[in-house]
Chain A
Amino acid sequence: MTRRVLVALLGALLLTVIGVGYGAFAMRREHRPVAAETEELSLAGSSPRILFRSTAADSRGHLAQVAKDRPDGPRSVSSLTCLRVYAAGGTGTCLRQDGALSTFQIAILDKNLAVRKAIPLVGVPNRTRVSADGRLVAWTVFVAGDSYNHGRFSTRAGLIDLGSEDMIDSLEFLSVTLDDHPYRAADLNFWGITFTADDDHFYATMSTAGHRYLVQGDIAAKTVRTIARNVECPSLSPDGKRIAFKSAIDGEPPKGWRLSVLELATGVRTPLAETRSVDDQPSWLDEDTIGYAVPRGSSDSDVWSVPANGTGSPRLLIPHAESPAALN
């Protein structure tokens, strides 16, 4: 008996040393000094820039900017850290951790990157968008079940009108029309909202019964209706006529995702020149160019760009970066 206890104690000691030792190593690795901020960032100003989240070793997680015509040039780094970022019309969004595990918030930023409002989110945030005039803000979180939940997961997408403070907690509470028929189901999931210029409508992904749809939503009427199949993470072009999106290859997510552009008037889909699997909500850098992140290892990624008309080839735009948003 005493020998067993001794072996157990020794084993516990050894395992503690391994666990704590690795933890200390990880802690030292994560606490790298951050490069000094070069200047105060601002969302205002007229020079074309790209805002992004840095994944470089010396500034991981920090909001940063580069000049659009010199994307590999010097980057300005803010002291603000986020998990996902976006900005338009003088409003920025920063999805970030809020203290404890699995509590997150969306911090809404003014043009000087000061936090003007924070909304708690539960679930892991993974998409955010701002309407062109900066009035509407959207987010998507991902809620995974615990062990009692038999591994079920869901995504919830919400939005807020900063003018009226009206908020839609989750699109699943809107009335749904699927293929022109009213529809309800327990497994409705929404993600990846993008706004129209009139601030009355949006596009998003809806999934139910194993299918993923492009839906168009009406904010005032609180309705969504499906308009196309196999379209995920839509992103409306600045002219409002095209939607860049990712779609599962052959409609099967295990095969990966391809980037395409859908012309709303004709329904024509043009696959883009990027042939790698891209799992990101694409971002319009201008009327002709799409930006998106491609992961590099486990906590690093690069922003690439590709022409929006299916020609050309992908180009590495900003190394060690993700969540690109074009500002002008």
Chain B
Amino acid sequence: MTEQAPAWARLLDLSSRSLNRRTVVRLGAGAVGSLAAGALLAACGGEQETQRESAPTATSVPGTQVSPTADMATTPATSPSAGEPVRGGELIYALSSDPPNLDPHISTGTAARCVKLQLYNGLLRYNDEGELLPDLAAEWEISDDGLQYTFILREGVTFHDDTPLTAEDVKVSIERIQDEATGATRKVEMSGISEITVEDEQTIILKLEQPHAALLEYFAQPETAILSKKFLESGGDPNTTSVGTGPFKLLSREPGVRIEVERNQQYHHEGRPHLDKIIFIPYQDENTRVSAVRGGDAHMADYVPWKDMQSIENDPNLRLETGQNSAFMCIQYNVRVKPFDDPKVRVALSYAYDRKAIIDAAFFGRAIEITGGVIPPQSWAYNEELEGTYTYDPEKAKQLLAEAGYANGFSVTLMSTSQYGMHQSTAQVVQNNLQAIGIDCKLELYDWQTVVQKHTKGEYQFRIHGLAPEILDPDFLTNFFASGSPHSKSTGFSDQEIDRLLQEGRAAQNQEQRKQIYKRLEQRILELAPWTFLVYRQDGEALRREVQGYKHLPGALGFFSGIMLQETWLQK
């Protein structure tokens, strides 16, 4: 890597090893989808996209020659900012919740993930267009049958305690995730790996029993971060302390009060991070969190309440970083209880909800309706033809209800939480809508913990939920709709046809083929309507003007925006 290398190449920081042809081919196939998504975003004309200068061509980057958007993708995000990044400075980040633990393998929400993204790296990483890039793995190869993954690690990476990264660390980390006792979030996905072989210091081979088209993506998430073998074996507890490879090192932590991280001088992405220090301060109250940024007590705040987005955009001292998220609000029916055991009722109700009112009341206009399937528009598997399946049509809902034998309505109880405004507001609109078509709908609002408990035990009739695809690949539907998935256990829903299609979609290697499978799958889901999808919301961070280089990542990547903190700098 030469000094003259352009910024985009420095960000990628490819090692001198050249990738073999097969890797390039496999990567090309895998990346098409996300690139298409990138192109689509660019076409939609997000402000950031149009403001980017054209960057050097990217022919040397594997898999990226397919699309001209790729070079934009690798340019460090330079939102409406000007000038060269300045090194140094302390950033105060007002977080929406206190990370209950620091263990990267156990997911505890977006705010916690934001902190963990500073401390750890995975084998791969996403760039800001959802492309998979090398991180701790410099290159990788997938066998043609999709059953063997070979990762070659980046050279010269050291942990925060100065021990070098080796294949052994990767092995220990994956085994830790697989271990029942860890309680890791990605246990199910990692359990598909039947054999882990350390080939040499820098090479590790993973063998699978069944092909899994989306597996690679999981290696880009902090929930599969690589921990230090030495640290774990010497009894280190990643819950309270941290030895990672990330751009920042843990400096101090007082639960509920603050977490401080400082620059990792040996970070393997040259020139990053720009900041000396980040201080994360959790704010229990969203209004106080916003006031903190407004008043200048913090440089940025996550999860800006939707009601405040407009006024933050209007404030000359502030900037709102937002993007169309693929997180969505939906209604889940417990299909064990009458009348929700009848698909006709679920279909009928799907016409009863005024999605526009939800967008106004819960999201103050910062959301878009879902009238079709839930695979988001940013995805290559998006099914445009399904748009308009369920629109707001109370008359039709009434008529369908009558056909299902409920001309006089029925009495039901809707479960939601008082703890999150968006859940509560959505629930209030839904209750209102159902009452309008003659259904006696009671509202039960619990605190979030109780909701979780009742959800797990299936003790509700129907509920409001806010969920998000965990990966960009449409395989995310497995965790929602496969028999035996936590959600299906909760709702009691299962369908053999859906299970079969999910299996097929995961095993198929060809993207066009997969697209067809997921289309059929989504049609089936809409026909049976085990859930009703309502709206996609926009999430956003509030930034003071001096904060530069940060960007809210689009789509499902929104939850990974914390990765941009290593690109962030403070204007003097």
* A, B assembled together: no
